[in-house]
Structure 1
Amino acid sequence: MATKEVTVESEDTGVEVRIIGDPVGKGLFATRDFKSGEVIFEERPLVSCQFLWNAAYGYLACDFCMRPLETAEENACRLTQNPQLTLPYPECCDTKKDAVVECPYCDASYCSRDCRESAWNQYHETLCLRSFMPDPSHPLVMLQEAWKQMHYPPETACIMLLARIIATVRQAADKEGATALFMQFCHRTVNEEEEIAHKLLGAEFHDQLEALRVMMEKGLGAPEVQHWLTPEGFRSLVALVGTNGQGIGTSPLSRWVRNCDALEISAAEREKLDQIVDDMYVQLEKEAGGFLNNEASGLYPLQSSCNHSCDPNAMPTFPYNNFHLVMTAVKDISAGDEICVSYLDECNLSRSRHSRITILRENYLFTCRCTKCEEQTGDPDVTSEEEMDEDEEEEDE
C-alpha cells in the first residue's frame, strides 16, 4: 500500500503510526529491528470495561484494571463446581485479597486503593450509582440490563465501555483534548456502521440502538458529549468500539499454573503436580468449557493501529494479568516493516483462505490481502468438510 503521510510517535518508541492506503487507513511500522520474542511496545488502554455477563456469572476482576480478585483456588472451585477442591503451592497465587477495596458508594471492587482512585478520577465519579441498592429504574441500571438482553455470550463488546468513554470526557479538565483521544480511532461510513451494529445486536438493531441511546442520554447527557448522543453520533460510537475494541483476558488460575511451572521441585513432586493440573483442566472443560477468564475489552491507540495479517509478525499479550498490553514480536521484524497481528484466533487462522476472508469480511468489513492470502489466491473457494457442515447447519436454521 502506498504511504501518503507519516505520523511519528512523540517518543522514540521504535514504532510509528502511518496514514496509508486508499481509502485512508492507519498502520503501525517498526523504526528499528525487533527479534522474535522481543517486546515491541507496552501500553495501557484509554478505557476498558469487563463484559457484563462475564461479571454477572461471578468472574471477579478489578473494576479498573481487570486484575483477578479471586484466588486461584477460589477460581478453580467455582469453575469446576467443586467446593472441596484444594490446590497445592498457594504461594504461587498472585491475588492479594488483603489489598481489595470497594467503592464506598456502590458495589464496584478494586484490586488496590490506587485503582479505586484512578477509576474515580477518570470516570467512576460520574457513573457511580451512589447506593448499595441501586434503583432498578435508574437509566444506567436499565442500560446494563437492556444490553445483557440484547447481547448474549459469547460477548464481544460492552455498552458500559461507551459509558466510560462519555464519562471520561465529562470528567476531563480538557474536554476537547479527551474527546480527541477517542476520535483518533478509525471511523466508518454510515453503511459500515450499520453493519457493525447489526453484527453486535442482530436484526432489530435500529430499535435496539435507539433504546440504548435514549437510556445513555438520560443517564449521561451533557453538552460536551451531545455529539455522541444523537442517533448518528451514537451509532458511530458503537461502531468505533465494535471495530477497535481489544479483548482482555485475566485469570488467577492460569497465573498459578504458570508460577507452578517455574517451581524447582523434585521429579516426583512435578509428576504429582502435573497430574493435579491435568485432572483440573479436564473438569474445567466439562463444567466451564472455554469460559475460563475474566473477559473485557479496551481501547488501545497503538494496538488499534496494527492491521491484520493471516501470517502475523506480532501478538498482543497480557503478562501482568491485568489490562496492561504487551505487544510481542513472533517473528524477526526489520526497520520499515509493518507490524501486523491476527484478528482471528488460532483455530480460525488455520482454516482455508476462503473461510478466513469470509470471517474477516463479516466481522471487520474488509477483504484480506495479506501475503498469505495472496499466495493462496489460486486455492479453490471451498471450505473444509467441517466448515461445509457448519454452513449447512446455518442454512437449515
Structure 2
Amino acid sequence: MNIERDVEVRLSHISKGKGLFAKRKINKGSVIFEEDPLVSCQFSWNEAYKYRACNHCLRPLETAQENVIRLTGHNVDLPYPECCTTNKSNIVSCEMCGVEYCSVECLTAAFNIYHKTLCLQTKDRNLTHPLEQVNEAWKQVHYPPETSSIMLIVRLLARIIQSSNQDTAIEETLQFCHRTVNEDAELAHNLLGEKFASQISLLHSLVVAAMPHDCIQQFLTPAGFQSLLALIGTNGQGVGTSAISQWVNKTSDLTLSDEEREALDSFIDNLYEEMDKHSGTFLNNEGVALYSLQSACNHSCVPNAEPTFVHNNHKLSLVAVKDIEEGEEIFTSYLDECMLERSRHSRRKELMKNYLFVCKCLKCEEQTEQPDVTSEEDEDMSE
C-alpha cells in the first residue's frame, strides 16, 4: 500500500500541531495504512508471567492448545487443531542470550536493529546484569495493568547506537518529543504515579549505567531521560496478540453444520468463562510500540479510525470506523471505550493528566453545557 498516496501529515487546527489527513475518500472498514514500529517490546510483567511472545514482533510462541491450558489452569482438549496459527517449528533462539523469536527473520531483524547492543552475551541470565536491573526496577514501580515499559526506551537507544546513520535515527526519535522540559517532567511523573515519582532518578541512573555510549548522551541527561519517559507515555501504542483468539477467528471460516456450529459456539463461550475465572482479563501477550505515522493521529472522543493488529504481531493496521472524506483529519481515541462513555469533564480530566491537553473535539464542544464534575460525582448528585 502506498502510504504517501493515502494520507499526509500536516498542521492540524485541532491540536495546533501536526495531524494526519486523508488524501482520498476512505470508506468505513477500509485499512487506511499498515505500519511496522520503530521499536516494540513485551510488557515486563506480561513476560514474567510466562506469556510467551516473540522477542521482536510479539507473535505468540504458544500453540492455541498450550495457551488455553495456561489460561484455564487445567487441560482442555481443543478441537479443530488445524485452526491454530502458531508454527513452533519456526521458533529460534539467540545463541548468546537465549531469548526466543518466532522466526529467523525476526531474530535477524532484532539483532541488526537493536539486539546486538542489548544481548546479555550469556544464557545464564541473572539480576546482576545492568539491563536486568533496569527491568526489575521498572517492575517494582509499574505494576499491572501495564501501560508501558522502560525496555522500550532501552531498545530505542540501542536502535540509535546500531544505526548506520545515527543523526537520522536521533531525528526519528526527536519527532516524538515536542514538549517543554516542565511538561516532560510532569508526564514522566504521571507515567509512574505520585507514589513512585521519586524513582525516576533511580531508573535514570540504571539506564545510564547500562547504556554508556557517547552518541546518545543527549538522552542520558536527567532532562533527556524524562523526555524519553514522556515520549513512551504519550506515544506508546499498546499491542496485543493471542494464540487462542487467532484459533477462534479461524474456526469461523470452517464449514460446519448448524448443529456443529452451535456446539462450537457453546464450547468457545464456556472456554472464555473458564479463562476469565482463572486469568481474569489478562488473556493476551501484551506490549507497547512506537509508530512514526500512527503517532501523528490526534485524539477525538468520536474517532473515525482505530488501530488493530490483524497480523497477530506488532504490525499496526489503522482501520476507518467511519467514512472519511478527502482532506478530513484522521482521529483515533487515546481513551478506552469505557472512558469514552463518561462525562466530558471526566474525559478531559483523564486526557489532561496523561497527555496535558484540553480536548476540543466535536463531542466535547457539543457537551459544553455539562457541569464540570466527574462521572462519579454526577452519579452521587443524582442519588
Alpha-carbon displacement from aligned partner over 1:329-371 (angstroms, at most 9, x marks no partner):
1111111100001111111111221221122112221111100
Q: Is the 8 A contact 1:313 1:341 kept in 2?
A: yes
Unpaired segments ≥5 residues, structure 2: none
Q: What residue is the counterpart of 1:228 in the other structure?
A: 219
- Please say if 1:188 is aligned against 2:179: yes
Quote the Cα distance in structure 2 between the aligned partners of 1:212 and 1:282. 39
Quote the Cα distance in structure 2 between the aligned partners of 1:160 and 1:29. 31
Pick aligned residue for 1:333 from 324, 334, 340: 324
**Cα-Cα RMSD:** 1.7
Q: Is the 8 A contact 2:188 2:227 kept in 1?
A: no
Q: Is the 8 A contact 1:187 1:236 kept in 2?
A: no
Quote the Cα distance in structure 2 between the aligned partners of 1:192 and 1:273. 52
Q: What residue is the counterpart of 1:15 in the other structure?
A: 7
Quote the Cα distance in structure 1 between the aligned partners of 2:134 and 2:202. 9
Pick aligned residue for 2:314 from 323, 347, 360: 323
Quote the Cα distance in structure 2 between the aligned partners of 1:38 and 1:270. 29
Unpaired segments ≥5 residues, structure 1: 1-9, 390-397
- Please say if 1:144 is aligned against 2:135: yes
Pick aligned residue for 2:29 from 29, 37, 55: 37
Spell out the pairing of 1:360-379 with structure 2 (5 A cutoff).
360-379=351-370
Q: Is the 8 A contact 1:197 1:205 kept in 2?
A: no
Identity %: 54
Spell out the pairing of 1:219-368 with structure 2 (5 A cutoff).
219-368=210-359
TM superposition shift of 1:205: 4.8
Alpha-carbon displacement from aligned partner over 1:13-72 (angstroms, at most 9, x marks no partner):
311101335985210011110010111111000111110000000111100011100111
Spell out the pairing of 1:157-172 with structure 2 (5 A cutoff).
157-172=148-163
Distance 1:282 1:22, change over 3 A: closer
Q: Is the 8 A contact 1:15 1:30 kept in 2?
A: yes
Secondary structure of the structure 1 residue equivalent to 2:194: coil
Q: Is the 8 A contact 1:25 1:186 kept in 2?
A: no
Quote the Cα distance in structure 1 between the aligned partners of 2:126 and 2:266. 48
Q: What residue is the counterpart of 2:189 in the other structure?
A: 198
Secondary structure of the structure 2 residue equivalent to 1:107: coil
- Please say if 1:55 is aligned against 2:47: yes
Spell out the pairing of 1:92-171 with structure 2 (5 A cutoff).
92-171=83-162
Q: TM-score, normalised by structure 1?
A: 0.92
Quote the Cα distance in structure 2 between the aligned partners of 1:23 and 1:132. 48
Quote the Cα distance in structure 2 between the aligned partners of 1:170 and 1:386. 50
Quote the Cα distance in structure 1 between the aligned partners of 2:7 and 2:242. 30
Deviates further, 198-207 or 310-319: 198-207
Quote the Cα distance in structure 2 between the aligned partners of 1:388 and 1:154. 26
- Please say if 1:210 is aligned against 2:201: yes
Quote the Cα distance in structure 2 between the aligned partners of 1:139 and 1:41. 38
Quote the Cα distance in structure 2 between the aligned partners of 1:27 and 1:121. 31
Alpha-carbon displacement from aligned partner over 1:197-233 (angstroms, at most 9, x marks no partner):
2222233655411111111111111110011111111
Q: Is the 8 A contact 1:13 1:41 kept in 2?
A: no
Quote the Cα distance in structure 2 between the aligned partners of 1:81 and 1:196. 39
Quote the Cα distance in structure 2 between the aligned partners of 1:378 and 1:236. 36
Q: TM-score, normalised by structure 2?
A: 0.95
Distance 1:276 1:23, change over 3 A: closer
